[in-house]
Amino acid sequence: MPSRQKTLKTQRAMKLVSSLLESMTGIHIFYVAGLLIFLTLFIVIVVRTLRRPSAEMNEIKESILIENDSEESMKA
């Protein structure tokens, strides 16, 4: 029963927050701005990743393996 009570309290709290946000005028601007910021950052990261030279990507990949090898040899 305690988990059911928590669920009911959470649902009531979410309804309160939802009704509060719906009653605010101009709140949709923040939703749109957040979505635009997210999409812009996502596109920038994807483009920068795809435009990186494959030699640089291989260097990064190999450096991770080299670091792990050197740490293991130091422990032994």
- Distance between CA atoms of residues 76 and 62, nearest Å: 21
Question: What pTM value is reported for the model?
Answer: 0.53
- Which has the higher per-residue pLDDT, 61 or 68? 61
Mean residue pLDDT of the chain comes to 84
Cβ-contact 21, 27 below 8 angstroms: yes
CA distance from start to end of the chain: 54
How sure is the predictor about 18, in pLDDT bands with cuts at 50, 70 and 90?
confident
Query: Which residues, 6+ apart, have CB-to-CB distance to 27 below 8 Å?
Result: 21
